[in-house]
């Protein structure tokens, strides 16, 4: 199975900050990497697919990039509603796998 | 607008079988380009992919759960289901059904989720 490791282990930020979350794959997955936002009590929400494609309806302050097996989610100008847990997920092969998640806290 | 809704018992006894159903509304489960997926989240933990099934019946399961998991599709009811055998307290989790969409470029993503249902395993 492909392992995904997210960093940092925790993240504290303020409204207006720019935050960056990294996801490293245990082997090459090309750009088959998605990012999700999960707020307690709600269904997870797709933000970015295929490493850098913004899902329809998602604000443009969210962006994704790839360098080899390292993937980055950047949130520019953090808004109050962005405080949530963020997961990466690989869709290169089955079984699909998620990263462990990173909570962005105030 | 396609919506997914989980249903099933919220309490299951240890050693019994957990059974959940996901009803798809606003679209057909036989529409091309989708794998119908189950994901769970243990209390205070991250997301765990359980498996997916295509409307044709082909399925793929998590390595750690495949000996206990079975998924099925009922196209007449526009539903898909999850069965997890021999449950223990470690199977207590919020279970989500979801839609994994694959496009013409071959990229997959989970673009639609149910609200999730808490299943507690306890005697």
Q: Could you read off the pLDDT of B95-104 as tens digits, one per residue?
A: 999 999 999 9
Backbone angles phi, psi at A80, to 5 degrees: -55, -35
> Under an 8 A CB cutoff, do A95 and B108 touch?
no
CB pairs under 8 A between A and B: 62
Mutate to test the interface with A, among B34, B42, B46, B65 (most CBs of A within 10 A): B46
pLDDT at B120 over 90: yes
Residues 6+ apart with CB under 8 A from A65: A51, A52, A71, A72, A74
Residues of A in contact with B47 (CB under 8 A): 36, 38, 44, 87, 89, 98, 101
So what's the pLDDT on residue A106?
82
Residues 6+ apart with CB under 8 A from B112: B2, B3, B4, B98, B99, B101
> Residues of chain A whose C-beta is under 8 A from some C-beta in B?
1, 32, 34, 36, 38, 42-46, 49-50, 53, 55, 85, 87, 89, 91, 94-101
B98 and B49 in contact (C-beta within 8 Å)?
A: no
- For all residues of chain A together, what is the average pLDDT? 96
Quote the tokens at residue B96: 């989500």
So what's the pLDDT on residue A80?
94
**Pairing relation of β-strands B108-113 and B117-121?**
unpaired
Write the pLDDT tens digit of every residue in A18-64. 999 999 999 999 999 999 999 999 999 999 999 999 999 999 999 99
Helical (H) or strand (E) element with B24:
strand B18-25
So what's the pLDDT on residue B7?
98
Percentage above 70 pLDDT, chain A: 100
> Under an 8 A CB cutoff, do B51 and A100 touch?
no
- Which residues are paired to B61 by β-bridges? B51
So what's the pLDDT on residue A72?
98
Write the pLDDT tens digit of every residue in B52-92. 999 999 999 999 999 999 999 999 999 999 999 999 999 99
Torsion of CA B38, B22, A84, A22, to 10 degrees: 30
> Under an 8 A CB cutoff, do B47 and A32 touch?
no
Can you list the pairs that B69-73 forms with residues at least 24 positions away whose Cβ atoms lie under 8 Å?
B71/B36, B71/B38, B73/B29, B73/B36
Nearest to A4 by CA among B46, B43, B95, B59: B46
> Under an 8 A CB cutoff, do A50 and B51 touch?
no
So what's the pLDDT on residue B32?
81
8-state DSSP, A96: P
Of B47, B48, B61, the CB nearest to A44: B47
Q: How confident is the model at residue A86 (pLDDT cuts 50, 70, 90)?
A: very high
So what's the pLDDT on residue A9?
82
Q: What does each C-alpha distance from B6 to A4, A42, B81, B93 come to in angstroms?
A: 28, 14, 9, 13
Interface check B5 vs A, CB under 8 A? no
Mean pLDDT (whole number) for B105-123:
96
> Under an 8 A CB cutoff, do B105 and A97 touch?
no
Q: How far apart are CA B44 and CA B118, in angstroms?
A: 13
Mean pLDDT (whole number) for B99-112:
94
Quote the tokens at residue A47: 């933000």
Residue A32 CA, distance from chain mean position: 13
Mean pLDDT (whole number) for A53-76:
98
- For all residues of chain B together, what is the average pLDDT? 96
């Amino acid at each position: 199975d492909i392992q995904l490791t997210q960093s940092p282990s925790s993240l504290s930020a303020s409204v207006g900050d720019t935050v960056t979350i990294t996801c490293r794959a245990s082997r090459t997955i090309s750009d088959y990497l998605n990012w999700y936002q999960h707020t307690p009590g709600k269904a997870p929400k797709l933000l970015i697919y295929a490493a850098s494609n913004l899902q329809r309806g998602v604000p443009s302050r969210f962006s994704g990039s790839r360098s080899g097996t390292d993937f980055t989610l950047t949130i520019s100008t953090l808004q109050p509603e962005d405080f949530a847990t963020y997961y990466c997920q690989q869709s290169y092969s089955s079984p699909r796998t998620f990263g462990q998640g990173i909570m962005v806290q105030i | 607008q396609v919506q997914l809704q989980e249903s099933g018992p919220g309490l299951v006894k240890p050693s019994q079988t957990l059974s959940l159903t996901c009803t798809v509304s606003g679209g057909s489960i036989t529409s091309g380009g989708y794998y119908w997926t189950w994901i769970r989240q243990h209390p205070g933990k991250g997301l765990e992919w359980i498996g997916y099934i295509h409307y044709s019946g082909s399925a793929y399961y998590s390595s750690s759960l495949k000996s206990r998991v079975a998924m099925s599709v009922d196209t007449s009811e526009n539903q898909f289901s999850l069965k997890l055998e021999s449950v223990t307290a470690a199977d207590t989790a919020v279970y989500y059904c979801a839609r994994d969409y694959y496009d013409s470029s071959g990229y997959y993503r989970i673009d639609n989720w149910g609200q999730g249902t808490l299943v507690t395993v306890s005697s």
